[in-house]
Amino acid sequence: RTTRRADAVKILAATRYHGLDGYARMIESCFAQTAHVATAIEVRPEFELALQPELTTVLFRYRARHGDPDHVNAEPRRTLLADGSAVIGRTTLPAAGGEPGGPGSLRLKLTLLRPETTFAELDTLLDLIADAARACDRPGS
């Protein structure tokens, strides 16, 4: 036990540096970002919000018009990761019968945990996702 790192010291130091009000501001900022992204997705016809976020994770997808919806939503993740623009998560939602997975079940996932991120940066990210998805949303893809 005497060789374990003193992890509690990190928490104590961070709390003393930021204070409880500082932590509250950071958490509120992340929740505001989440609300902004959810609203931005709802007003953009190319996106579909999977459900209203309760914490700081937003699940959504690009509405594929021509290609396979799972492929069209997986491709932006690969493209943006490869060019260093963004790291986007993914998950699958259960089908209507409660079975996990299935065609059209893939959703993109944004987990917003950086309080300094601006709404403009998030809007740009949604533009990047839409552009990358649009590029592979073709008949037969």
Adjacent-strand bridge partners of 110: 58
Q: Is the pLDDT of residue 98 over 90?
A: no
Provide mean pLDDT across the span 61-76: 91
CA-based nearest residue to 108, from 76, 137, 136, 66:
76
DSSP-derived letter for residue 46 is T
Rounded to two decimals, the pTM is 0.84
Which residues does residue 82 pair with via DSSP β-bridges, in sequence order? none
Is residue 108 very low, low, confident or very high in pLDDT (cuts 50, 70, 90)? Answer: very high
Q: Which helix (H) or strand (E) holds 48?
A: strand 47-49
pLDDT digits (tens, 9 = 90+) for 11-33: 888 889 989 899 999 999 999 99
Percent of the chain whose pLDDT exceeds 90: 69
Whole-number Å distance between alpha carbons of 87 and 121 = 14
What is the predicted pLDDT for the residue at 103?
62
How far is 44 from 64, CA to CA, in rounded Å? 13
- Average pLDDT, stretch 65-72? 89
The structure tokens listed for 86 are 């963004």
- Do residues 34 and 53 lie in contact, with contact meaning Cβ atoms separated by under 8 Å? yes
